[in-house]
Amino acid sequence: MKILHLLYESDGDYFGIGGVGMRAYQIYQRLRDRHEITLLCRKYPGAVDGYKKDLRHIHVGGETVSFTRTLLSYAREARRYVLEHGEEYDIIVEEFSPAIPTFLNTYRKRPLILQVQAYTGMQYFGKYNPFYSVSLYLMELVRPYFYNRLVFVSEATMKRYRLKGDADVRIIPNGVEPAAPGRSNGGERYMLYLGRLDIHHKGLDLLVRGFEYLLRNSGYEGRLVIAGDGRDKGKLVELIGELSPDIREKLELAGWVEGERKHELIVNADFLVMPSRYESQPIVALEAAAAGRPVIASDIDELRFIGDKGMGINFRAGDIRDLAERIRLLAENNSIREDFGRNARLWAEGYSWDSIAVRFEEYLEETVGKE
């Protein structure tokens, strides 16, 4: 098949890359030998068309450091590209973002699948100005309804959307790479946040304040390591700068990590922390599970499986004191951490990227076969 995937974030993106981009690379690197794959990505300063990670990249839109203008220009130019070149491909996959109004639901010359990985809802109003929040909220509420084929990464996310009764809907979750078990450093203890530096979305303000509350009100002596990159890095540095020196020295910004360094950070952590205000099916939770590390996560619907499956603990979303108490509980109980870790590894065995890529490929082939 010739596959065109509208992927608004890509490797090397000035604005960062999250689970949407990581999922695409994991799947398509397993399919590239059998199919001709083109990623249609947003343009960013310094973006160059060509092959990255052995996948063809085309960048469209305006080359600007304004995030909003980048997304809107990408929506316009991605739509134009599909209208002009869509018939050169066998199937088109569009990543859904309310901030990218392509309105490609009317395109009929080739089968088109909308892939939906998250739901934000009313959380927009706590993150953006009212005008922008209303626009995003309405786009998220309305646009998926008009698509006939959709892929969701979790049932919890799917249930948040209103869809056509006859829509072809599939649940194809995220996956994880097999991880070597065990820990290797025996050094200073720490908890780990790993992911995009988006303060409101990922709850990094809650994490920093919860960590401060923990150190002030308990005997916890471990560190907090925050690994990742994103457009809120400067704001996060400012937030950390407001802490007292004795708290700051317990907190480390590790930057973007991958490969062996990423694996070392995960397997040597006591546990990972995910205080997100909203999510999809985060790949980080799967990576922690594969490494046998427990997770403390907010109790939003998309992360409640962590507690339900005995892989970690949920805390009341947005509650700094409850987050601190759950951290203290897990930090002080090695046997509980070990039990959670064993449960997590067993659960992760059913989510290999190899099997997820096959499921995704089968759905694309099935869809093309129906045309």
For residue range 8-39, list pLDDT tens digits in order. 999 999 888 888 999 999 999 999 999 999 99
Q: Are 347 and 305 in contact (CB under 8 A)?
A: no
Neighbours of 222 (CB within 10 A): 17
Reported as a single tens digit per residue, the pLDDT across 101-137 is 999 999 999 999 999 999 999 988 988 899 899 999 9
- Phi, psi (degrees; rounded to nearest 5) at 147: -95, 145
CA–CA separation, 195 and 335 (whole Å):
27
> What pLDDT, on the 0 to 100 scale, is given for residue 186?
57
Calculate the alpha carbon distances from 155 to 159, 215, 321, 360 in Å.
Answer: 6, 37, 30, 16
> What pLDDT, on the 0 to 100 scale, is given for residue 259?
85
Roughly what angle, to the nearest 10 degrees, separates helices 204-217 and 233-241? 20
CA–CA separation, 339 and 295 (whole Å):
12
Q: Which residues contact 365 (CB under 8 A, 6 or more apart)?
A: 1
> What pLDDT, on the 0 to 100 scale, is given for residue 349?
85
Burial 238-272 (b: 16+ CB within 10 A, else e): ebbeebeeebeebbeebeebeeeeebebbbbbbbb
Whole-model pTM?
A: 0.78
CA–CA separation, 123 and 363 (whole Å):
32
Burial 167-191 (b: 16+ CB within 10 A, else e): ebbbebbbbbeebeeebeeeeeebb
Ranges for all domains in the chain classified under CATH 3.40.50.2000: 2-175+352-370, 190-348
Quickly name the fold that domain 190-348 has: Rossmann fold (3.40.50)
Closest CA to 312 of 338, 336, 330, 294: 294
Q: Which residues contact 43 (CB under 8 A, 6 or more apart)?
A: 59, 60, 61, 62, 63, 70, 73, 74, 77
CA–CA separation, 271 and 265 (whole Å):
10
Using 70 as the pLDDT threshold, list the residues of the chain that sit under it: 179-187
> What pLDDT, on the 0 to 100 scale, is given for residue 181?
55
> What pLDDT, on the 0 to 100 scale, is given for residue 180?
59
Q: Which CATH number is 2-175+352-370's, of 3.20.20.450, 3.30.360.10, 3.40.50.2000, 3.40.630.30?
A: 3.40.50.2000
* DSSP character at residue 296: E
> What pLDDT, on the 0 to 100 scale, is given for residue 183?
55
